[in-house]
């Protein structure tokens, strides 16, 4: 920072030098002085509504004639203080400024404001969920009046248990009208579903959306509300903050890898065991800042579901029956020895790096094959042209192009959606390419619309559009594309930085692999790889899919064939039959099938052996996020009757006679020694933290609400290989429709019927039933009205679903959300018929 942009001032006798434009409240925070605030939040623009941050401000007196500071008799610059107190949250610093927050005048101002805020406050701290971590309570004790001049009967009495939406309660009496929640919803996440209603003492927060408080980010308002007005339906009346202990974790639901704090309490009802009481964001400014989505906050209840498998099962006379660990692990090992190299392992992206590495060592040791279970391809390319180390989405702005192709980011990875939106607001050029409109388009400089099936060719057309001017190698057989493609190409080619997110909106394995290849080519030909703030990001369905690819797991193009080909199948953290019932016969007929999972999934119910395992809350490990950041998570609760995946793999390996490590630390060290991308990483380095801004790790809680400081590690990004990959032109799969069918294209939605969401009863109202959506013209042609119950026929399977009509759906396709009971992972022709009694 050039010296001319720095400003020096004095706050409560301490000198501080900060960039020009810094607000007094932030300059003070930097040197450990807490100026009390309510409405101010460092992630939002200041509004100066509550007046709690009053300070005395003096400025040097300047001689108008000379423009020089006037000096006092002792030679120091003469400082003149204003007659009134000023708000530290709206006043920027200036050279030579003197700020006093400890004077009687400032203290009296703060006391008066607190007394005013408490005129109608119910003072029900003993039963308030925020009590113990409440800025209003803390500030009242520190600065407020010892006694209230208002009697209870004179106070304004408002609704106390008002359900804003099924996730968030509002206690209207406690609200101090700071507007943080309204500004968060309106300005930060652009879901303006909260607002003020009425005026003066009758002013209330309302939600006017249907359903109430309709936002994927609603839980964050309970963190930043500086009083106990907003509480989650999950945590309210569950525990007092001082009873809780914390464990650092990483969200297991999507590839963003949001940093979490798990709060726990030891409870008599649970035999004195620790019980999870709530999940909060943990600050990581390079990943999730201080936010998480509601899925990350509320979906954890699957970890404590009564439906979880509790003991190993083995098939005896056609039935799955309980068996001891010793016996079952020996039985599995014996069968694997018999199968030898005819063993295939199929792993899901919910497994940690340590699990995956151990499973791969086991399978490799047998000479077998390891595969990743996913509907999406391209991780090998992300491993070659992924984000360069040091890339931080929150630093992107002017000069950067962000291309989001075939992804509905808000549904697939909500915090990435937020960060991309914010980058666009800072000046980054956002190009959204999709076959259908998505919410991200609101912030896009350009929108490229293509027909489903043309995702990869659209990107290749961008390259061809540039090739005329830039002498790039031209993609065979692909034309230059329309105007939108050309405009996008013109923005991308000269950009300082290019980040591409690609997803699987309307794509299956083969087509997403082709799209990844096209995107990788675009990065390579435009020289946007191996540079900070450049690279490819895959919007994976699972938290650790990228980790699996980095460790050498790749998906199989034909699972049915694989099931026939191998004698022993080891499936861990995946439910292929649940996603595609046509695989059931393959599993039934396979020689020996072991399924390792949390629940008795469709696949597990057909297995020869079922091994129960542990969720992320009960064990240690690391995940690799879509940004290739390796992050540690720690055990929060302990259940000794369960074993973590890596321990089961190690045990079986040893019984087979293979060498294996048994602890996460030793497995990780071995992984680092063997996998070049992980070179230089260690658990110790992953646990390191640097100072982050805003500072939220002090006792005041004024800035970050209840968000927890990160003292347990920020993680580290993987290294890219030295060599840039050579260009390969992808083969784009063709989709053939037969008469009477329509193309069904799968999309991903945030709340589906998956087993890691459904056990959280709170979210049930947000999980839609099985449905498809078609364009109004298609509905007319098929003679259906909105809400018709229809029968879908696809690849020999017949399922029922509700039909919705939407102008957002492109003509001649049916949009089908994944994991809602309709088995679809890639585009497929379907027949739609009315269920007899529902036909119009």
| Shortest Cβ 198–ligand SF4 spacing (Å) | 13
Give me Rg for the CA atoms of the chain.
29
Tell which positions 131-190 bind ligand SF4, by CB under 6 A: 175-181
| Shortest Cβ 136–ligand FES spacing (Å) | 12
Which of ligand SF4, ligand FES, none does residue 632 bind (CB under 5 to 8 Å by kind)? none
The sign of the dihedral angle between the CA atoms of 533, 534, 539, 544 is: negative
Which of ligand SF4, ligand FES, none does residue 49 bind (CB under 5 to 8 Å by kind)? ligand FES
Which of ligand FES, ligand SF4, none does residue 772 bind (CB under 5 to 8 Å by kind)? none
Compare residues 172 and 619 and give the one whose CB is closer to ligand SF4: 172
| Shortest Cβ 41–ligand FES spacing (Å) | 9
- Identify the H or E element spanning 26: helix 24-30
Compare residues 368 and 541 and give the one whose CB is closer to ligand SF4: 541
Does residue 414 bind ligand SF4 (CB under 6 A)?
Answer: yes
Which of ligand SF4, ligand FES, none does residue 672 bind (CB under 5 to 8 Å by kind)? none
| Shortest Cβ 181–ligand SF4 spacing (Å) | 3
Full strand arrangement of the beta sheet holding 535-538: 446-449, 429-434, 400-405, 497-502, 535-538
Compare residues 181 and 813 and give the one whose CB is closer to ligand SF4: 181
| Shortest Cβ 134–ligand SF4 spacing (Å) | 11
Please give the Cα distance from 792 to 835 (Å, whole number): 9
- Please check whether residue 778 is in contact with residue 786, taking contact to mean a CB–CB distance below 8 angstroms: no
Compare residues 45 and 74 and give the one whose CB is closer to ligand FES: 45
- Please check whether residue 747 is in contact with residue 818, taking contact to mean a CB–CB distance below 8 angstroms: yes
Among 293, 332, 609, 763, binds ligand SF4 (CB under 6 A): 293
Compare residues 49 and 720 and give the one whose CB is closer to ligand FES: 49
Compare residues 9 and 539 and give the one whose CB is closer to ligand SF4: 539
Q: Is 127 helix (H, G, I), strand (E, B) or coil?
A: helix
Which of ligand FES, ligand SF4, none does residue 696 bind (CB under 5 to 8 Å by kind)? none
Q: Which of 175, 148, 147 is nearest to 159 (CA)?
A: 175
Number of residues counted as binding ligand SF4 (CB under 6 A): 27
Output the DSSP codes for 454-517: -HHHHHHHHHHHHHHHH-PPPPTT-----HHHHHHHHHHTT-SEEEEEE--TT--HHHHHHHHH
Output the DSSP codes for 300-343: GGGGG-TTS--S-EEEETTEEEE--HHHHHHHHHHHHHHHTT-E
Which of ligand SF4, ligand FES, none does residue 542 bind (CB under 5 to 8 Å by kind)? none
Which of ligand FES, ligand SF4, none does residue 179 bind (CB under 5 to 8 Å by kind)? ligand SF4
| Shortest Cβ 109–ligand SF4 spacing (Å) | 20
The sign of the dihedral angle between the CA atoms of 820, 821, 826, 831 is: negative
Length of the chain: 840
Does residue 466 bind ligand SF4 (CB under 6 A)?
Answer: no
Tell which positions 240-269 bind ligand SF4, by CB under 6 A: 251, 253-254, 256-258
Distances (CA, A) of 379 to 122, 385, 740, 823: 55, 10, 36, 24
Among 415, 491, 514, 606, binds ligand SF4 (CB under 6 A): 415
The number of angstroms, rounded, from the C-alpha of 519 to the middle of its chain's C-alpha atoms is: 23
| Shortest Cβ 294–ligand SF4 spacing (Å) | 8
Tell which positions 15-74 bind ligand SF4, by CB under 6 A: none
The token duo for 339 is 């199968």
Does residue 413 bind ligand SF4 (CB under 6 A)?
Answer: yes
Among 227, 339, 448, 816, binds ligand SF4 (CB under 6 A): 227
Compare residues 37 and 792 and give the one whose CB is closer to ligand FES: 37
Q: Which stretch binds ligand SF4 (CB under 6 A): 21-29, 120-128, 226-234, 486-494?
A: 226-234
Compare residues 415 and 830 and give the one whose CB is closer to ligand SF4: 415
Which of ligand SF4, ligand FES, none does residue 37 bind (CB under 5 to 8 Å by kind)? ligand FES
Burial of 303 (0-12, 13-18, 19+ CB in 10 A): buried
SS3 for 758-786 is: CCCHHHHHHCCCCEEEECHHHHHHHCCCC
Tell which positions 345-364 bind ligand SF4, by CB under 6 A: none
| Shortest Cβ 19–ligand SF4 spacing (Å) | 29
| Shortest Cβ 84–ligand FES spacing (Å) | 14
Does residue 230 bind ligand SF4 (CB under 6 A)?
Answer: yes
- Please check whether residue 800 is in contact with residue 791, taking contact to mean a CB–CB distance below 8 angstroms: yes
Please give the Cα distance from 826 to 559 (Å, whole number): 14
| Shortest Cβ 118–ligand FES spacing (Å) | 15
Among 51, 277, 295, 419, binds ligand SF4 (CB under 6 A): 295
Compare residues 258 and 677 and give the one whose CB is closer to ligand SF4: 258
Residues 6 or more apart whose CB falls under 8 angstroms from that of 446 comprise 429, 430, 431, 432, 484, 487, 488, 491
Which of ligand FES, ligand SF4, none does residue 51 bind (CB under 5 to 8 Å by kind)? ligand FES
Which of ligand SF4, ligand FES, none does residue 89 bind (CB under 5 to 8 Å by kind)? ligand FES
**Phi and psi (nearest 5°) for 652?**
-65, -40
The token duo for 816 is 């089908």
User: Quick count: other Cβ atoms within 10 Å of Cβ 126?
Assistant: 7
Residues 6 or more apart whose CB falls under 8 angstroms from that of 682 comprise 668, 669, 672
- Please check whether residue 641 is in contact with residue 592, taking contact to mean a CB–CB distance below 8 angstroms: no
The number of angstroms, rounded, from the C-alpha of 97 to the middle of its chain's C-alpha atoms is: 42
- Please check whether residue 281 is in contact with residue 291, taking contact to mean a CB–CB distance below 8 angstroms: yes
Q: Which stretch binds ligand SF4 (CB under 6 A): 269-277, 349-357, 407-415, 614-622?
A: 407-415
Q: Which of 75, 124, 332 is nearest to 236 (CA)?
A: 124
| Shortest Cβ 29–ligand FES spacing (Å) | 12
Residues that bind ligand FES (CB under 6 A): 37-40, 48-53, 87, 89
Does residue 282 bind ligand SF4 (CB under 6 A)?
Answer: no
| Shortest Cβ 49–ligand FES spacing (Å) | 5
| Shortest Cβ 136–ligand SF4 spacing (Å) | 8
Which of ligand FES, ligand SF4, none does residue 576 bind (CB under 5 to 8 Å by kind)? none
| Shortest Cβ 221–ligand SF4 spacing (Å) | 6
Residues 6 or more apart whose CB falls under 8 angstroms from that of 27 comprise 9, 11, 16, 18, 93, 99
Output the DSSP codes for 694-726: S---STT-TTTTTPBP--S---EEPPPPSSPPP
Please give the Cα distance from 416 to 464 (Å, whole number): 29
Burial of 13 (0-12, 13-18, 19+ CB in 10 A): exposed
Q: Which stretch binds ligand SF4 (CB under 6 A): 413-421, 424-432, 593-601, 668-676?
A: 413-421
β pairing state of 400-405 and 369-373: unpaired
Which residues contact ligand SF4 by CB under 6 A? 175-181, 205, 225-227, 229-230, 251, 253-254, 256-258, 288, 292-293, 295-296, 413-415
């Amino acid at each position: 920072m050039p010296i001319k942009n720095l400003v020096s001032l004095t706050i409560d006798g301490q000198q501080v030098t900060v960039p020009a434009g810094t607000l007094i409240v932030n300059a003070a925070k930097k040197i450990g002085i807490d100026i009390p605030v309510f409405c101010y939040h460092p992630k939002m623009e200041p509004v100066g509504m509550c007046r709690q941050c009053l300070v005395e401000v003096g400025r040097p007196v300047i001689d108008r004639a000379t423009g020089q500071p006037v000096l006092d008799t002792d030679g120091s610059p003469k400082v003149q203080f204003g007659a009134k107190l000023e708000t530290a949250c709206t006043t920027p610093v200036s050279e030579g400024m003197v700020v006093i927050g400890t004077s009687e005048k400032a203290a009296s101002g703060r006391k008066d404001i607190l007394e005013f805020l408490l005129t109608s406050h119910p003072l029900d701290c003993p039963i308030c969920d925020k009590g113990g971590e409440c800025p209003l309570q803390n500030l009242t004790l520190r600065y407020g009046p010892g006694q209230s001049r208002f009697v209870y009967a004179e106070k304004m009495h408002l609704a106390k248990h008002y359900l804003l939406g099924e996730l968030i309660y509002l206690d209207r009496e406690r609200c101090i009208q700071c507007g943080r929640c309204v500004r968060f919803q309106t300005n930060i996440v652009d879901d303006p579903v909260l607002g003020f209603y009425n005026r003066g003492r009758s002013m209330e927060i309302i939600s006017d959306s249907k359903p109430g408080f309709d936002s994927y980010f609603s839980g964050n308002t309970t963190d930043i509300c500086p009083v106990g007005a907003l509480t989650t339906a999950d945590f309210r009346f569950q525990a007092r903050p001082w009873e809780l202990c914390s464990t650092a974790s990483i969200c297991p639901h999507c590839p963003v890898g949001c940093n979490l704090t798990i709060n726990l309490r030891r409870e008599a009802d649970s035999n004195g065991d620790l019980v999870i009481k709530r999940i909060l964001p943990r600050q990581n400014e390079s990943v999730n800042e201080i936010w998480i989505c509601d899925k990350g906050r509320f979906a954890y209840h699957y970890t404590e579901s009564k439906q979880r498998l509790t003991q190993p099962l083995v098939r005896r006379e056609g039935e799955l029956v309980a068996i001891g660990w010793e016996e079952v692990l020996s039985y599995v090992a014996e069968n694997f020895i018999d199968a030898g190299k005819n063993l295939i392992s199929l792993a899901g992206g919910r497994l940690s790096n340590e699990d995956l590495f151990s499973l791969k060592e086991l399978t490799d040791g047998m000479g077998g094959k390891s595969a990743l279970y996913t509907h999406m391809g391209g991780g090998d390319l992300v491993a070659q042209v992924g984000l360069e180390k040091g890339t931080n989405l929150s630093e992107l702005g002017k000069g950067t192009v962000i291309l989001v192709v075939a992804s509905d980011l808000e549904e697939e990875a909500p915090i990435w959606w937020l960060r991309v939106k914010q980058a666009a607001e800072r000046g980054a050029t956002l190009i959204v390419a999709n076959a259908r409109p998505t919410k991200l388009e609101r912030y896009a400089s350009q929108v490229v619309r293509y027909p489903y099936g043309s995702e990869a060719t659209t990107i290749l057309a961008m390259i061809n559009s540039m090739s005329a001017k830039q002498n790039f190698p031209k993609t065979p057989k692909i034309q230059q594309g329309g105007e939108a493609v050309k405009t996008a190409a013109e923005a991308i080619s000269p950009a300082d930085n290019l980040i591409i997110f690609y997803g699987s909106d309307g794509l299956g394995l083969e087509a997403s692999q082709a799209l990844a290849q096209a995107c990788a080519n675009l990065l390579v030909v435009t020289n946007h790889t191996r540079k900070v703030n450049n690279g490819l990001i895959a919007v994976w369905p699972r938290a650790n899919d990228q980790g699996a690819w980095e460790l050498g797991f790749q998906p199989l193009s034909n699972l049915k064939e694989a099931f026939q080909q191998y004698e022993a199948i080891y499936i861990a953290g995946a439910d292929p039959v649940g996603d595609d019932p046509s695989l059931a016969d393959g599993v039934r007929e396979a020689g020996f099938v072991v399924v390792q999972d949390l629940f008795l999934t469709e696949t597990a119910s057909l297995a020869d052996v079922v091994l129960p395992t542990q969720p992320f809350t009960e064990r240690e490990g690391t995940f690799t996020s879509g940004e290739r950041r390796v992050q540690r998570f720690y055990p929060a609760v302990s259940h000794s009757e369960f074993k973590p995946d890596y321990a089961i793999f190690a045990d079986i390996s040893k019984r087979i006679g293979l060498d294996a490590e048994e602890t996460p630390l030793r497995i990780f060290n071995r992984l680092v020694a063997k996998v070049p991308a992980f070179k230089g990483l260690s658990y110790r380095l992953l646990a390191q933290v640097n100072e982050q801004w805003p500072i939220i790790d002090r006792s005041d809680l004024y800035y970050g609400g209840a968000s927890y400081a990160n003292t347990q590690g920020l993680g580290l990004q993987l290294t890219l290989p030295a060599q840039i990959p050579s260009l390969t032109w992808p083969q784009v799969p063709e989709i053939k429709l037969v008469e009477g069918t329509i193309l069904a294209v799968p999309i991903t939605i945030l709340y589906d019927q998956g087993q890691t969401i459904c056990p959280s009863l709170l979210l049930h109202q947000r999980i839609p039933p099985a449905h498809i959506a078609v364009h109004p013209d298609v509905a007319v042609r098929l003679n259906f009205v909105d809400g018709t119950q229809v029968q879908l026929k696809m690849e020999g399977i017949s399922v029922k679903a509700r039909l919705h009509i939407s102008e957002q759906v492109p003509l001649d396709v049916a949009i089908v959300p994944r994991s809602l009971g309709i088995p679809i992972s890639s585009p497929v022709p379907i027949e739609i018929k009315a269920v007899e009694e529902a036909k119009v």
